[in-house]
Structure 1
Amino acid sequence: MPKTCSDPRRLALHGPTMGTRWSVTCDAAPDTDVQALQTALAAAVQQVDAQMSPWLPGSDLNRLNHAPVGAWVTLPAEILEVLVCALDVCRLSAGAFDPAAGALVDAWGFGAVRDAPDAEAIRTATSAAPVARTPTYEALELDSGMLRARKHAPMHLDLCGIAKGYAVDRMADVLRQNGVPHALVALDGELRAVGGQADGQPWAVAVESPETCRRAVHSVVELQDLAVATSGDYRHYLQVGDARLAHTMDTRRGAPVRNEVASVTVLARQCMHADAWATALLVAGPGEGLALAQRMGLEALWMLRRGNGLVTLGLGRFSSGAPASGA
């Protein structure tokens, strides 16, 4: 049973992971073992990285990537849970979210292989675009009961568009298991609120303005038992001549996403879902993405580059400008 927080203390925990940092702000009972909580949170994030990192040669993701087509690969339950969600969003978004973007990510210089675009690698990766192959959600077979997966076509998986959101969810699980009912978990642009604050107020989270040279707040969203994730073109990109190449790939085009969407913010109960859908809506663009979000009943905020300014477009709680709360 969760501990009561009749006289809670505010804790701020954090640590490195996945090339960035995770953080937890929580209102915990006075007798909470802070070191044990810190260790458990760090272990949860480390497990996700060890299983799903495209950068670690020995990760479970890379074992699957390097396995021959048709060979079953035994996998941990956690990565299978993420793959199930990734393939579901891939199917529902008609490939706007595609976990088999790894070859394109590497070819364009955003992966572990190279730090600049390579024309030959791009040609090779583009030749395997969905128009020329079976969709990822059909070409990757998952057997959750037997904890295994196999590929029916060559593919290089990359879970960077969903794994950080899943890591946030795992940290939320750790907090609940340790009797912490009030917390805000963050990893890059992915956040999840466990309950509200101990005083009954929701957690206030800034939605960042998509500016490359400085960090600025566009608006504030209030979270209670709710997750939020943002995908955009303004933090991770390569400058090639006059062109700025976003790190998010559109596998349908075989190239980095290129549309007027500067960022998309999505609300969901689980951060894994918010993370994946934010990526899907970024790739889909404002027209296709709006129709997709309406069809899926998503709550989302787009910031579009038009002329010299930004235009916002919102659905759900974002449409009225009212603060979002999961209560």
Structure 2
Amino acid sequence: MSKTSIDHNETAEPRRVSLNGPTMGSRWTAVWFDDGLDDPLEIGADLIAAVGAVDNQMSTWKPGSDLMRLNRAGTGSWIEVPANLATVLDVSLRIGRASGGAFNIGVGRAVAEWGFGSHAGRPGDLAGTPATLSMDLLDVDALRSRVLKHGPMSLDLSGIAKGFGVDELARVLDEAGIASYLVGIDGEMRARGEKPDGSPWSVALERPDPAVRAIHGVVTLSDCAVATSGDYRHWREDETGRISHTVDPRTGQPVCSRLASVTVLAPSAMAADAAATALMVMGEDEGLAYAERQGLEALMIVRTETGELAEHGTGRFAPEAAPSTGIHARQASLEA
């Protein structure tokens, strides 16, 4: 069930609307300012439909989703898929090639073998096997909304689908003519314009600490998106210690490095989501070099040998830029 908050007034001031509801195992949120002429509940219905469609097409938790249908499909013949799914698959393959396989939607089996995801089980003999390279076994014809599989694979869009869902929320508000909004799903957010007072939208970045929930800093957004990937919220433990839910597709092993979290800014939430996942897989040194080559704006938070947190970044998060344009309000409290 979605929740609605609407601020009414008798002046010419813009109306503030806030909606949220469940989706993709999390919650979607939308806050915007408008002239008060449109029915926000009608827009809310469109928002619910948009994220619902993404979930129905791209979920690995729903056996009837279009993605799971594609996973079960045979090889050697073109398979029709929804246009949005074709778009996300096409973008995923391009990012996979650019990242040298650090981002790889063929990672589904590898993730399950380590005890995560919708088909998780106890780690078996295949745990640690490199993931199928989706860019080698999958052709996507985005213009005709069809896919050709050259071999069996287990596709998993968890590193990009929520970002695309955020972009779909943004699309709905753009089509409604709303020029000032902040939308999000979990840690992926996208902003349009500025608030009525001229200030940018502010998004809290969580401190990468599994023991506490606190703000590490706040980043301001205007006409861009932000996504964060980290190792501090989703993991499991066995006799060897803590195992990250993020698996390096190139090795088939859970990610294990000093890197605690990665935050990326990009024009779309889909691009930010996938880039944050790729950088988290790459680790501190490889990821920082990749971000610089690709012109990404990325903040990497690493754990030092003394247990403290240190920052490395590019773009507005670079050391010379961060004091004035990066993040601020470190160590503030974070509401659950």
TM-score range, shorter chain: over 0.9
The residue that corresponds to 1:76 in the other structure is: 82
Aligned-pair identity in percent equals: 47
- How many residues are matched? 313
Aligned partner of residue 127 in structure 2, secondary structure: helix
Which whole-Å deviations, capped at 9, do the CAs of 1:217-271 have from their partners, x for residues lacking one? 1111110001000000001111123511111111111121111110000000000
The residue that corresponds to 1:95 in the other structure is: 101
Cα deviation for residue 305 of structure 1 reads: 1.1
Cα separation, 1, equivalents of 2:53 and 2:12: 33
2:27 alignment partner AA? R
Q: With structure 1 as the length reference, what TM-score do the two structures score?
A: 0.92
The residue that corresponds to 1:317 in the other structure is: 316
Contact 1:220 1:323 in 2 (8 A): no
Q: With structure 2 as the length reference, what TM-score do the two structures score?
A: 0.90
Contact 2:288 2:313 in 1 (8 A): no
The residue that corresponds to 2:5 in the other structure is: none
Aligned partner of residue 102 in structure 2, secondary structure: coil
Cα deviation for residue 30 of structure 1 reads: 1.4
The residue that corresponds to 1:46 in the other structure is: 52
The residue that corresponds to 1:57 in the other structure is: 63
Cα separation, 2, equivalents of 1:29 and 1:237: 45
Say which of 19, 22, 26 aligns to 2:32: 26
Q: What is the correspondence of 1:41-190 to structure 2 with a 5 Å cutoff? A: 41-114=47-120, 116-122=121-127, 126=129, 129=130, 135-190=133-188
Cα deviation for residue 6 of structure 1 reads: 5.3
Which whole-Å deviations, capped at 9, do the CAs of 1:46-72 have from their partners, x for residues lacking one? 000000001111111011101112132
Cα deviation for residue 7 of structure 1 reads: 2.4
Contact 2:264 2:299 in 1 (8 A): yes
Cα separation, 1, equivalents of 2:238 and 2:117: 16
Which whole-Å deviations, capped at 9, do the CAs of 1:268-323 have from their partners, x for residues lacking one? 00000000000000000111111111110001000011121111101100112133
Cα separation, 1, equivalents of 2:212 and 2:185: 19
Cα separation, 1, equivalents of 2:192 and 2:171: 9
2:309 alignment partner AA? L
1:57 alignment partner AA? P
2:58 alignment partner AA? M
Cα separation, 2, equivalents of 1:185 and 1:19: 17
Cα separation, 1, equivalents of 2:212 and 2:18: 25
Cα deviation for residue 117 of structure 1 reads: 3.2
The residue that corresponds to 2:280 in the other structure is: 282
Contact 1:7 1:30 in 2 (8 A): no
Aligned partner of residue 24 in structure 1, secondary structure: strand
Say which of 173, 198, 201 aligns to 1:200: 198
Cα separation, 2, equivalents of 1:285 and 1:218: 20
The residue that corresponds to 2:213 in the other structure is: 215
Cα deviation for residue 32 of structure 1 reads: 2.3
Which whole-Å deviations, capped at 9, do the CAs of 1:19-39 have from their partners, x for residues lacking one? 110111111221220110111
The residue that corresponds to 1:244 in the other structure is: 242
The residue that corresponds to 1:269 in the other structure is: 267
Cα separation, 2, equivalents of 1:119 and 1:63: 25
Cα separation, 2, equivalents of 1:100 and 1:202: 38
Say which of 189, 192, 196 aligns to 1:191: 189
The residue that corresponds to 2:20 in the other structure is: 14
Cα deviation for residue 200 of structure 1 reads: 1.5
Aligned partner of residue 325 in structure 2, secondary structure: coil
Aligned partner of residue 165 in structure 2, secondary structure: helix
Cα separation, 2, equivalents of 1:324 and 1:10: 27
5+ residue gaps, structure 2, are 1-10, 328-336
Higher relative contact order (CA 8 A, sep 6+): 1
Cα separation, 2, equivalents of 1:121 and 1:16: 34
Contact 1:165 1:272 in 2 (8 A): yes
Aligned partner of residue 84 in structure 2, secondary structure: helix
Cα separation, 1, equivalents of 2:18 and 2:268: 22
Cα separation, 2, equivalents of 1:176 and 1:284: 34
